[in-house]
Amino acid sequence: MTKAINLIKTHASNPKVWMVVIGVTVAGVVLVAEAKRRRRHREDFGAFVERFEILPFPQPPPPAAKQSLAGLTFAIKDIFDVKGYVTGFGNPQWKKTHEVAEKTAVVVTALLKNGATCVGKTVMDELAFGITGENVHYGTPINPQMPSHVPGGSSSGSAVAVAAELVDFALGTDTVGCIRISAAFCGIFGCRPSHGALSMLGVLPSSQSLDTVGWLARDASTLHRVGHALLQLNAVEPKRTRRLIFADDLFQLSRVPKQKTEYVISKAVEKLSGYQPPKHMNLGSYVAANVPSLKGFHGQAENMQNDKSFLKALSSVMIAFQRFEFKTNHERWVQSVKPKLGPDVSESVLAAINTPHDNIKTLYKVRTEMRAALQSLLKVAIPLGKHNGCPVSVSFLSFHGGDKFLLDTVLDMNSSLQEQVNLASNLTLLPDTNDDMDASELLKEKGNAAFKGKQWNKAVTYYTEAVKLNGKNATYYSNRAAAYLELGCFQQAEDDCSKAISLDKKNVKAYLRRGTARESLLRYKDAAQDFKHALVLEPRNKVASVAEKRLKKLMS
């Protein structure tokens, strides 16, 4: 299971460049959902703990504009207050020991004011501890994309309700990835806005330094509409140059071939205006250089000279934050009630309660340095189809406060992304590894697949794209020449082979193919020279030997 990606604005002093760092999240391929399912799961995929209906505020009379979310339904994670209902926090004992809410959460009220209808509360990981979406008390919601796998948490029920088309969108919270992981596992869109951008009034706290209200939707348009309603974004922002930055070291953590994802995103960006060419970076190196307090953090990292160790240390800081602030918020309740918790949650809660947290000052220092270095707490997960049968999601992240910029970017880019995903999905010959194969190699392999399928024109197109990305690879020219030969484009085939030979003097295939092209152009003497050269390189080459004899007869 890979981690959600981080994005950065590396040059905060330069207001003309907005940057997004990209990475990949794969569905929970190693976590298998519990076998026992309740009957109600068949009806609602086990997404809800409580069903009800709260109608939206009345539409204001003309000439007021129509409510932006009119006609849409939504569900909320069982962490939001609704007047007259007890907020359950994913645990029956919590629900029994707390009173009904006197007010509805601010963000829920905002959605009702904008015309949406709330239809119930959804299952979550107990006390918002966990990333699998499992709950021993209410059952694990069924992942509509992959029923035998977990839906991801802790906003699991909200994600499942959206993915199963039970609601148009849903609210959740994101502390350590609870929105983005659930969205990725269920193959939908999820947004964690800038920390502090949305009111947390009426939302049970887990860790105030990390908690953020987020939302999930099946399409980019709904994600965008909800974002504008909640964030009350300005209609116009200054136009600025934009650039995507790939966090290469994070792609290495993914099981999805890196070159396939990079190619899809790069091709999608080409169709958008105002974007500079993408850049690449090592996020671990960046963190190591800009967050010096991590070196003094006594985390799990064994070798702090390793870039990945810095990322592991940063993850440990995040978990320590969550546990410390959870203890501050809920220690008294845990010790007095002694609730029955699931095994994993019980272990996390006990660790939170029993840890002395002597290094809390260091944790806050790391947080301050990290925020200054990245300015990048807004995160969006976008579904990119499947890999080996599992949903794949790419995360786009921007600087803190760039909510409108990121939502607009996702909306603008999504259709092109999906188009490129459909093209890339036709290729099944690539290895499931993240080696040094880049986008040009991906295109070559796609060209080879088209060639084997006798789709000559399509093969030429793929090889041409590969040449554009890497014009110094002889194989790309030689392979395109083979496709040109099948199409009867002999002059183009000769030109490509000549280019391949100039790059690689020992390219036997290029000599053979140029010889074939020249023979077809009735230039027998030149063709004979090519086949002779191929025999010098490979004396036992039967194709060259037969061709040389044939040409001798033709010239005689």
pLDDT tens profile 64-78: 888 999 999 999 999
Is the pLDDT at 37 greater than 60? The verdict is: no
Query: What is the β-pairing status of strands 169-174 and 212-217?
Result: antiparallel
Kindly state the average pLDDT of the residues 211-235. 90
50-59, 321-330, 396-405, 507-516: least confidently modelled range: 396-405
Tokens of 49: 């703990």
Q: What is the pLDDT of residue 86?
A: 98
In this structure, the dihedral spanned by the alpha carbons of residues 139, 140, 142 and 145, taken in order and rounded to 10 degrees, is: 180
| Nearest residue to 316 (alpha-carbon basis) of 275, 351, 350, 277 | 351
Kindly state the average pLDDT of the residues 86-95. 98
Residue 5 pLDDT level (bands cut at 50, 70, 90): very low
Q: What is the pLDDT of residue 78?
A: 98
Q: What is the pLDDT of residue 397?
A: 85
Q: What is the pLDDT of residue 117?
A: 98
Q: What is the pLDDT of residue 383?
A: 86
Cis upstream peptide for 155 (omega within 30°): no
Contact (CB, 8 A) for 506 and 537: yes
Kindly state the average pLDDT of the residues 337-359. 90
Q: What is the pLDDT of residue 111?
A: 98
The single residue listed with the structure tokens 């519990």 is: 34
Q: What is the pLDDT of residue 377?
A: 47
Reported as a single tens digit per residue, the pLDDT across 258-268 is: 777 777 888 88
| Amino acid sitting at position 71 | G
Kindly state the average pLDDT of the residues 314-338. 93
Q: What is the pLDDT of residue 427?
A: 54
Q: Left, alpha or beta for 120 (phi > 0: left; psi -120 to 50: alpha)? A: left
Query: What does pLDDT average to over the chain?
Result: 84
Q: What is the CA radius of gyration of the chain?
A: 28
**Sequence-ordered alpha helix ranges (H) in 79-208:** 92-96, 106-113, 156-163, 178-186
Q: Give Cα separations from 220 to 95, 116, 192, 215, 469 (angstroms).
A: 35, 17, 14, 12, 30
Contact (CB, 8 A) for 27 and 391: yes
**Sequence-ordered alpha helix ranges (H) in 379-428:** 403-424
**271-274, long-range: CB < 8 A, 24+ apart:** 271/416, 272/412, 272/413, 272/416, 274/239, 274/241, 274/242
Q: What is the pLDDT of residue 17?
A: 37
Tokens of 179: 């929105």
Kindly state the average pLDDT of the residues 300-308. 53
Task: In the chain, count H helices and then E strands.
Answer: 20, 11
Reported as a single tens digit per residue, the pLDDT across 375-399 is: 754 568 888 888 778 888 888 888 8
| Nearest residue to 508 (alpha-carbon basis) of 470, 536, 466 | 536
Q: How many CB atoms lie within 10 A of CB 79?
A: 29
Nearest-angstrom CA–CA distance, 169 and 219:
9
Q: What is the pLDDT of residue 381?
A: 80
Helix (H) or strand (E) holding 549: helix 542-555
Helix (H) or strand (E) holding 284: helix 283-290
* Share in percent of the chain as helix, strand, coil (round to 5): 45, 15, 40
- Phi–psi pair at 25, nearest 5 degrees: -125, 130
Q: How many CB atoms lie within 10 A of CB 358?
A: 8
Residue 206 pLDDT level (bands cut at 50, 70, 90): very high
117-121, 253-257, 448-452: least confidently modelled range: 253-257
The reported pTM is 0.73
| Amino acid sitting at position 296 | G
Kindly state the average pLDDT of the residues 448-464. 90
Q: What is the pLDDT of residue 370?
A: 87
The β-bridge partners of 390 are: 387
In the three-class reduction of DSSP (H, G, I as helix; E, B as strand; rest coil), residue 20 is classed as strand
Percent of the chain with pLDDT over 90: 52
Residue 479 pLDDT level (bands cut at 50, 70, 90): very high
